[in-house]
Structure 1
């Protein structure tokens, strides 16, 4: 078994706590579904948001999901880069798995699909 990183990103329309929390749950749920993983196999989740999202911590959403109470979570602010995608939430889910790197499925939702067009199905 090895630790693999599963990447994901999504965007929200507004700097609104409920919208941020819902988008975070949607993104994490997509990652879990696409990779057939379970919270007990998650080593940690690193979360970043762009500087324009200040209404809440996205980790709040994950902490309230059943089975995710013990998963280590950390939030940070994404570095500011000119003309970068606004109102973006990014996840790096570190999972203990027997899967090979090419078997990992990353998830990019909403406006974040422009970040990795090569991964679009």
Structure 2
């Protein structure tokens, strides 16, 4: 039985985004993690260095525009998170975990948007 609090790790991930704390965010990922982003075309980032390069320009903006928790729930392979940026843009992220509690895979994609909002990440 796995005693790792996966939901707590995702909340820590969201808190790091809110604070603009790239170091803490990257510490939640395994060294060989993979991030698959389908927000503006399909792109896959391998390892903490590429994931850091992906997040660096985004995370600073998140701390200014605001990141809101919309929904969080267990999923068959980990945790599903829906969050909003700047109070409107909604993103869906699925997190998978290793036995050590590190994030090994993230898939992000636009969530269903409010009709007046755009749908790009």
One fold, TM greater than 0.5?
A: no
- Please give the TM-score of this superposition, normalised by the length of structure 1: 0.28
Of structures 1 and 2, the one scoring higher in RCO (CA 8 A, sep 6+) is 1
